[in-house]
Chains A and B, each alone.
Chain A
């Protein structure tokens, strides 16, 4: 073992910092036709007519495509309910109604302004909870109601457990949308090459994109090739198709190369977001701190189309109890169609929302029982063999307790944790909050999970070099570097002797999606196994092997008992966050973060730390500053001047990523995923820190200064030196 954990120079680093790297907008050529979308710009309406005559008369406009031009006009990752171009009805502001194709950008823009669409507005559903009502306006006509998905999980008997619990607490929580805000807005090109329709963009899963595009055009998958240019971030935001369908359609229709580059605003309006959730939780514990029951209702705004709502909801409902073994669980999740922007995949995939509620509830229980918030976690945290809410033992390799202990140790060393605050009392209060989390690595609930790689070896007597083919997206996280490192380590080669072929669905086999923190585990394992298999044939005329790795099978939940094995691997995380609350302005400053992770095995420590630090910046934005505001379905904050990403100065100078290496049984060299984990418990950790500082509970995300001030006024007392008591606990339930 020589390369594992090594901080290697990234092969793509130089090009990226010098600007030589080519992102999708950089591969646009002058001879390509340019596309411009005509967006609906209303929440819900019937299309009465589309008049394209005036647009077609604009010099340079070649065509105006509408629903009629799309061979199969339904797509979606999970459920095909989204039209490529709207047919008869528009269901959200960013719905695409027509596509103008022109010789240049100006003509395309002018043409788009000249497409005349007559609408008859329909009542819009803009609130998920109201949208659940039987008599609510339907977002999709013909459905019995707007509930897109209901997920039910039952274990034990919560009612009985509440009746005998020593303390029972209830709480309500609300989270908001989050925009992926990847640096590179959606863009791409399409063209024909030797009879194959090539779509070159940025995405997260080559082969899935290809499947959906081929289906839209009624082609065989082999007739379409999807290629990725350099990808400027994804975070789940490129799981759904956005501009790819438009490029494929226009090039197929007109048999000419096409290009599209979305502005930031088009990107924010046009692609999906993280789900806003409303969560009601009721938790009960015994006198000794054992959590005996948790009952949770989660309602998610799914927006106008299904996207991955059903899967996000499964995750959120499963993680409603965070990383604690609780005997009695009843969780009901609902994803609801509305006429808001669609919600879908975003780093954490439902886990951050669910953990926000759960991690606050656990801390509240601790205070109600006079227990230390860490102690109550220690007494309930998952251990090897613990039973999940879905009634089966967790997959082997449960490291939640070790991660928690390590986090607490670091917090004691690096923060004012466990020490009395001796500073004079001013309007600035400091506190440390601790929270834990769990998130699946890989696809869940019975999905046929797999990753395939091909390794080919060259050399006389010794292996001199290798070619690795693995269709895996490097969205900026460094997947290609990590996969190369795994191959080099397995083969005993220097990394530069391994050539990676990764970005073309026609030349690299399917390693699955760059999501669910899965590529290092899944893609890495496929590469490792293929490298081992090729090595076994070396030296020989055909030292080449293709291996498909399949992890232990997961299952859907039994519809009656709700039992099942939802996942084959988990990442475990604990965080300590120190905050300073300005009690007069409600402004929160995050002073220090400890983020402890079991990564199984760090393939490259620097890449792992990069994932943790980058993810924490996204988490700080999620919790404090990023406030996507909608009114009547319209996004009011479609620019970075109003949708506020945290700046360098908003990040604490002290961020401590802590890596534990407790092997996952399936991962290559024991590696697990890490990419999403820092977002999972962060909101809970900040809420707990604010409580420790002030005695106030902030239950809404983002925690804007107004909301913090409101929480401060609502909390009866502001005495930080006193042992905090739970201020909202109903007295009658405290026996």
Chain B
């Protein structure tokens, strides 16, 4: 039986209390929200914090609010299901609702939170294994050894960000709000992630994520998200493609973002692909060129399910389909 290592649990009733507890215990502590990712990882002995600071009692952080001037605000403790079912999200940020509803299973969507999803530990075939397995095959950079098993020449860990929400939030230009001992700070979501899978968040261990903010939905905005997975449910993305575009009244694309995920430690913005769309009416030819551009920037590694070659090949197909969705010509599924 896989069991949890021993730990003590300290519920926090407010943001201030959470931050105080994290500061008090320092490196020995980790925050926990839904626990859907954290507990599974602890069972595999990927880490064994002595103290877990429970954020779930902080009721005030479970909200989704919209305001035409301020835009959308999502409390870190809103569940993935709250997000998937929020009427305002479904109406104005449909890609976000779609990404949320594609996450794992109904049970995990009910437990998992948006904050936890953005703070997911990065994943790799060599890392998300139990202790025996890792010991037998040899540890790697993310386990304290000095080699990456996926790319032996790499000095950083290439484990993937497997969050379905992260690329969509990035495509919408979200900001994340962190609370720490010194007060709150705000980061552009792109700056929240780093290039090293060992330490993939620009978050101090004593900080917690409190809120995610998205700019107001402009008229003419369209969004889409597609994810490659092996089964119709349950699985982490093997590739995620998010796109948000804004068309003017004449149907010309004025703004575009394409973000790829599940390739490496952070979501990858396909800038050239987006550039290929701006000024077009999202004609099939433009989409094809953009999909090619995305194909070039995405560099999957051999560290998730299926093969590298297949994930690479699917980059073009899935980008194309995501763009067809925003162009309104998307084939279903």
Residues of A within 8 A of B (CB): 41, 105, 261, 263, 265, 426-428, 584-586, 625, 634, 636, 638, 641-642, 644, 646-650, 704-706, 709
Within 8 A of A (CB), among B83-103: none
* Set of chain B residues within 8 Å of A650, measured between Cβ atoms: 231-233
- Contacts A426-B331, A585-B314, A709-B313 given; indicate if A649 touches B306 (C-beta within 8 A): no
**B1 adjacent to A105 (CB under 8 Å):** yes
**B132 adjacent to A41 (CB under 8 Å):** yes
A646 in complex: contacting residue of B125, B231, B306, B307, CB < 8 Å? B231
Q: Is B10 in contact with chain A by the CB < 8 A criterion?
A: no
**A625 adjacent to B230 (CB under 8 Å):** yes
**A261 adjacent to B305 (CB under 8 Å):** no
**A706 adjacent to B231 (CB under 8 Å):** no
Q: Is B195 in contact with chain A by the CB < 8 A criterion?
A: no
B310 in complex: contacting residue of A427, A646, A705, CB < 8 Å? A705
Compute how far the CA of A699 lies from the CA of B133 in the bound complex, rounded to whole angstroms. 32
- Contacts A625-B230, A648-B233, A650-B232 given; indicate if A704 touches B306 (C-beta within 8 A): yes
Across the two chains, which residue of chain B brings its CB closest to A635?
B133
Contact residues on B (Cβ < 8 Å of other chain), bracket: 20 to 34
**B231 adjacent to A709 (CB under 8 Å):** no
Closest 5 CB pairs of A and B: A649-B232, A647-B233, A706-B310, A649-B233, A263-B1
Q: Is B317 in contact with chain A by the CB < 8 A criterion?
A: yes
Across the two chains, which residue of chain A brings its CB closest to B316?
A584
- Contacts A41-B132, A706-B307, A706-B310 given; indicate if A625 touches B231 (C-beta within 8 A): yes
B234 in complex: contacting residue of A634, A647, A704, A705, CB < 8 Å? A647
Compute how far the CA of A428 lies from the CA of B314 in the bound complex, rounded to whole angstroms. 16
Compute how far the CA of A186 lies from the CA of B183 in the bound complex, rounded to whole angstroms. 52
* Set of chain B residues within 8 Å of A636, measured between Cβ atoms: 125
Compute how far the CA of A398 lies from the CA of B3 in the bound complex, rounded to whole angstroms. 53
- Contacts A263-B1, A265-B2, A625-B230 given; indicate if A584 touches B317 (C-beta within 8 A): yes
Within 8 A of A (CB), among B106-157: 125, 128, 130, 132-133, 136-137
Q: Is B196 in contact with chain A by the CB < 8 A criterion?
A: no
From B3, B230, B314, residue with most partner A Cβ within 10 Å: B230
Compute how far the CA of A604 lies from the CA of B27 in the bound complex, rounded to whole angstroms. 61
**A647 adjacent to B331 (CB under 8 Å):** no
**B309 adjacent to A706 (CB under 8 Å):** yes
- Contacts A634-B136, A642-B305, A646-B231 given; indicate if A261 touches B310 (C-beta within 8 A): no
Residues of B within 8 A of A (CB): 1-3, 105, 125, 128, 130, 132-133, 136-137, 228, 230-235, 305-307, 309-310, 313-314, 317, 331
Chain B interface main SS type: loop
* Set of chain A residues within 8 Å of B130, measured between Cβ atoms: 265
Closest chain-B Cβ to A663's Cβ sits at a distance in Å of 40
Closest chain-A Cβ to B327's Cβ sits at a distance in Å of 16
* Set of chain A residues within 8 Å of B233, measured between Cβ atoms: 647-650
Compute how far the CA of A650 lies from the CA of B231 in the bound complex, rounded to whole angstroms. 6
Across the two chains, which residue of chain B brings its CB closest to A638?
B133
**A41 adjacent to B136 (CB under 8 Å):** yes
* Set of chain A residues within 8 Å of B314, measured between Cβ atoms: 585
Closest chain-A Cβ to B161's Cβ sits at a distance in Å of 17
Closest chain-A Cβ to B98's Cβ sits at a distance in Å of 15
Closest chain-B Cβ to A579's Cβ sits at a distance in Å of 14
**A644 adjacent to B235 (CB under 8 Å):** yes
* Set of chain B residues within 8 Å of A428, measured between Cβ atoms: 331
* Set of chain A residues within 8 Å of B125, measured between Cβ atoms: 636, 642
Give me 11 other A-B pairs in contact (C-beta within 8 A), A265-B130, A638-B133, A647-B233 excluded. A41-B136, A263-B1, A427-B331, A428-B331, A585-B317, A634-B137, A636-B125, A642-B125, A705-B310, A706-B306, A709-B313
**A261 adjacent to B232 (CB under 8 Å):** no
Compute how far the CA of A647 lies from the CA of B306 in the bound complex, rounded to whole angstroms. 18
**A649 adjacent to B231 (CB under 8 Å):** yes
* Set of chain A residues within 8 Å of B136, measured between Cβ atoms: 41, 634
Compute how far the CA of A584 lies from the CA of B313 in the bound complex, rounded to whole angstroms. 9
* Set of chain A residues within 8 Å of B3, measured between Cβ atoms: 105
Compute how far the CA of A427 lies from the CA of B2 in the bound complex, rounded to whole angstroms. 44
* Set of chain A residues within 8 Å of B306, measured between Cβ atoms: 704-706
**A644 adjacent to B331 (CB under 8 Å):** no
Compute how far the CA of A427 lies from the CA of B320 in the bound complex, rounded to whole angstroms. 13
**B313 adjacent to A647 (CB under 8 Å):** no
Compute how far the CA of A686 lies from the CA of B230 in the bound complex, rounded to whole angstroms. 17
B1 in complex: contacting residue of A261, A584, A638, A648, CB < 8 Å? A261
* Set of chain B residues within 8 Å of A644, measured between Cβ atoms: 230-231, 235
**B232 adjacent to A263 (CB under 8 Å):** no
Compute how far the CA of A638 lies from the CA of B228 in the bound complex, rounded to whole angstroms. 22
Across the two chains, which residue of chain B brings its CB closest to A266?
B1
Closest chain-A Cβ to B312's Cβ sits at a distance in Å of 11
* Set of chain B residues within 8 Å of A584, measured between Cβ atoms: 317
A-B contact pairs, 24 of them (CB 8 A): A41-B132, A261-B1, A263-B1, A263-B2, A265-B130, A427-B331, A585-B228, A585-B314, A625-B230, A634-B136, A636-B125, A642-B125, A644-B230, A647-B231, A647-B233, A648-B233, A649-B231, A649-B232, A704-B230, A704-B306, A705-B230, A706-B307, A706-B309, A709-B313
* Set of chain B residues within 8 Å of A705, measured between Cβ atoms: 230, 306, 310
Closest chain-B Cβ to A19's Cβ sits at a distance in Å of 16
* Set of chain A residues within 8 Å of B231, measured between Cβ atoms: 625, 644, 646-647, 649-650
Compute how far the CA of A648 lies from the CA of B106 in the bound complex, rounded to whole angstroms. 12
Compute how far the CA of A634 lies from the CA of B1 in the bound complex, rounded to whole angstroms. 20
Compute how far the CA of A646 lies from the CA of B137 in the bound complex, rounded to whole angstroms. 28
Across the two chains, which residue of chain A brings its CB closest to B332?
A428
Across the two chains, which residue of chain A brings its CB closest to B314?
A585
* Set of chain A residues within 8 Å of B310, measured between Cβ atoms: 586, 705-706, 709
Compute how far the CA of A605 lies from the CA of B324 in the bound complex, rounded to whole angstroms. 47
Compute how far the CA of A650 lies from the CA of B235 in the bound complex, rounded to whole angstroms. 12
From B1, B130, B228, B317, residue with most partner A Cβ within 10 Å: B1
* Set of chain B residues within 8 Å of A704, measured between Cβ atoms: 230, 306
